[in-house]
Amino acid sequence: MYQITNNKSGSLFETNQTQIWIDPNNISILEKHSQKDEPEINIQLKDEKYIDWHHRKIKIYKTQKSSETNIHTDKLTIRQPKKGDKLNGKKLKDIMIKAKIPRRHRHTFPIVTNNQRIIGVLGLVNCPTVQNQTHCYFNLSLVDSELTE
């Protein structure tokens, strides 16, 4: 069973497990998954490390104290966007639309949270520097997988 949807920006071919998006500039093939299956990663801020995220890497690294520091915790969570997410009082969906992020790619942006509060969207909105309990400072950034392999 499949469905084909056409609109002014391209065509979407869908099956139960795959989406193929065809527009004038590219073809995207995406594996479908449900919201229940979305990964959620809990991070202990102790050491520098890389985390795999949708064929990209998130770099967590120690840094010097920054004026942006306003979060004191040993634990952060990285997850995918959820319906109704807000950052600084603005709907995350509206932020992504304004940044011209296609709907089919929005689920690939890692959301960084502290106690269920969104503090950043890697690749879109910078995260503040985070201080852990041992007074080390950490930054998170999204890096291309080619750079770390």
* Domain positions in the chain: 1-32, 35-147
42-70 in b/e form (b: 16+ CB < 10 A) is ebebeeeeeeebeebbbbbeeeeeeeeee
Q: Whole-model pTM above 0.85? A: no
Which is higher by pLDDT, 64 or 117? Answer: 117
For 11-60, the pLDDT digits (tens) are 877 777 777 878 777 777 766 655 445 578 888 888 888 888 877 788 88
87-109 average pLDDT score: 88
Half-sphere exposure of 85 (CA within 13 A, CB side): 24
> How far apart are the C-alpha atoms of 37 and 28, rounded to whole Å?
21
102-106 average pLDDT score: 82
Burial of 20 (0-12, 13-18, 19+ CB in 10 A): middle
